[in-house]
Chains A and B, each alone.
Chain A
Amino acid sequence: MQTSRGNGMHKPTFARGAAVVTALSLAFGLAACGDNAPASSAISGASGASSVSGADGGPNLQGEFAGSGASSQQSANEAWIADFHASHNQARISYDPAGSGAGVTALLNGSVIWAGSDEPLNAAQLEQSKSTCARGTAFEVPVYVTPIAFAYNLPSVGLNDSGKHLRMEPETIAAIFQGQITRWNDARLARLNPGVGLPDLPITVVHRSDKSGTTKSLFKYLKAAAGPAWPYEPGENWPNNVGQGAKGTAGLVMTLTQAEGTFGYADAAQTSGLGTVAVKVGESYVPASERGVSKMMDKVKYEAQPQGSLRKLVKVDYQTAEPGAYPVLLVSYDIACQAYQRDASGSKAAFAKSWLSYLASEAGQQQAAANAGSVPLTPAIREQVMQSVQAIEAS
């Protein structure tokens, strides 16, 4: 019974240590929630076994259905969930915009039914999905396409949102992003924009500071279109110390508006009030627009897949010379299984089939376009997506 107490326990420094520890553990606890998706993962109502025969699970779809993944799709998913719920009022659907990586992890450990991702699965993830899905591997279908605009803030010379677009070549953008062009009145910009009063201001490049599919899509375009002028491999993080970073599209746009002379990139729908660049395509200059992206989608090709694969990975032709096409775009996928493990009642498969069918329908695409500023998938692409979605079945 005779003990002497550890005096260290009475010292503020130790209390502080504990406080820091608690804070850290909380931070990681929260972080850990990221890869353990919401606990609500599809507890299939045993009573509500729904038929999977129809293309649509019908209004008798019931239970909780969770998805997780890319934050780029968040506002589209909110619109889709609201609309889908109107015709399936027994189904409770949630989408956690935790990020593409977290979404794929959640899908692979079976805690969500579908994942949204700006990136297709890599070889290792594809292999891992064989143990998650009851049949074959998981597959990706494009559901969300949006133009990425190069935006600038130059209100004092009347270039913001005025219908006037500064013209740039891919090489020009690459030079700005590498800190080789540092002022707005640089001769290389003036040459492309005759008659525009470019201000004598420094260019502040603003980019994403978090890992982002938008950044990667942009770099894929620069790599293809600017050739040797863009030496970096496409990645989700900014590769140099030029300019400033900001977290998320919202943070980036906020930073753009906080100072004159800023230059960055974001989903075209988010850039209202700022000026946007017309990019050189072939011999003309094309601003970011829905029509420009639709033209790109008309030409889209798919990556070759082994026989029987349901994966639909689009190949974007960034070097296109198609007049009026806008080649800087983000294609975001939804990833699902053909058949699910631990799905005795078939409700997971029924939901996935009915949900993705809705997303690939004209109504679903219009809903996203109206609420999230995306570009509706063309009928040809929707048909391709439907081919894969139709193959979803009970395990």
Chain B
Amino acid sequence: MSKTLAPQSATNMAEQNPQGVDPDAVSVSVDVSAAPAEASAAPTAPSPGRTADKVFKICAWSAGILIFLALAAVTIFLILRALPAFTGDPAVRSSALESLSGGRASNFASYVGPLLFGTILIAGLSLLLAFPVSTGIALFITHYAPRKLSTALSSVVDLLAAIPSVIYGLWGALVLVPAITGFWNWVATYLGWIPIFAGPAAAPARSVASVALVLAVMILPIITSVARDIFAQAPRLQQEAALALGATKWETIRLAVLPFARSGLISASMLGLGRALGETMAVLMILSPGFSYSLHILQASTSQTIAANIASQFPEADSMGVAMLVATGLVLFVITFLVNFLARRITGKGVSK
């Protein structure tokens, strides 16, 4: 019955240690030059291992620094390019915004507000749809499926993750939208008394609901594969102990697997959320954009995301228009950072219970 565990990526290792130690507290500092062997041994030619060690250390360092450099470069680019949107001539700024919004916004806050709302609404909905399903798939793979099936299923999930978003967008626009229009109509007719399902449903259904559905399918694989690795890591001893005490399969999972996996699941969903927040192509192809703070997800033209808005407005924008669009990109950048930060706070605390 013993399963070989899926190889763990180093990133996840840091995330879960069953002892409940905050990974941030584990600080590894090895000073190679202070190795006692060097002090006692007679000075000889340095062993080839030492050189390799140095080279590897430099490689690892530069890779780490590279991320910071990339981040800094992007931040600086965004701020520089967005600067005219805040410091330019007020008349030019408001006319650029009116041109971008079809006359519906004349200051930056009222322009970016609905876009931000739409971005968070769509990404949040898709996470809401994808998370339970992903967790279910991951549990099925690790705890229920027979060995052969779970291997096959794992590779199918990884394959799904490799499909580019433009394909999802095409599939959504050409296949899903015409097919699901009738269903959303039915929902609006019979569940319309629930505010978010209020009609009239869009026909064709190029609405927030359809986009959220497609994005949910898109982020499903990434959440599933991370969750699968985490469930596979759950301590076997505790599970066996629970079973020995007469717990059912479900109770075992509830007592010995889910609590252990909590912080990892949050990280997994953040990965998915990040992908949904920044998704451009699929949204652009499926959603009929609008410009409001509306929660009616079945109606046409209620919301638009920041990323899709940049893509649709950029080609025809003049220099001030581009500055405005980059400024909305900066807002998205900041929001993504905040989401990350909150997730890290939660996961930092979430391990020890």
A residues with a Cβ closer than 8 A to B are 1-25, 27-28, 31, 34-35, 71, 98-102, 104-105, 125, 202, 204, 209-213, 232-233, 235-247, 251, 254-255, 258-259, 261-262
Contact = CB atoms under 8 A, between A and B. Distances in A.
B27 interface: yes
B107 interface: no
A345 B336 CA distance: 51
Interface residues of B, number: 81
Nearest to B316: A211
B344 A13 contact: yes
A105 B278 contact: no
Given A1-B31, A210-B312, A245-B288, A11 B74 contact: no
A16 B102 contact: no
A23 B346 CA distance: 25
A9 B64 contact: yes
B70 to A, nearest CB: 6
Contact of A11 (B81, B181, B311, B344): B344
Interface string B151-187: 0000000000000000000000110011001000000
B278 A24 contact: yes
Contacts of A246: 206, 288
Interface of B: 10-12, 14-15, 23-24, 26-29, 31-33, 64, 67, 70-71, 73-74, 77-78, 81, 98-104, 173-174, 177-178, 181, 200, 202-204, 206, 226, 267, 270-271, 274, 277-278, 280, 284-285, 288-292, 300-302, 307, 310-319, 321-322, 326, 329, 332-333, 336-337, 340, 343-344, 347
Nearest to B92: A124
A258 B202 contact: no
Given A101-B321, A232-B103, A258-B178, A209 B274 contact: no
Given A27-B307, A34-B315, A20 B278 contact: yes
Contacts of B347: 13
B24 A7 contact: yes
B151 to A, nearest CB: 24
A236 B318 CA distance: 12
Contact of A99 (B77, B98, B315): B315
A105 B319 contact: yes
B70 A25 contact: yes
A371 B277 CA distance: 40
B125 to A, nearest CB: 19
A24 B74 contact: yes
B331 to A, nearest CB: 12
Contacts of B31: 1-2
A151 to B, nearest CB: 15
Contacts of A102: 314-317
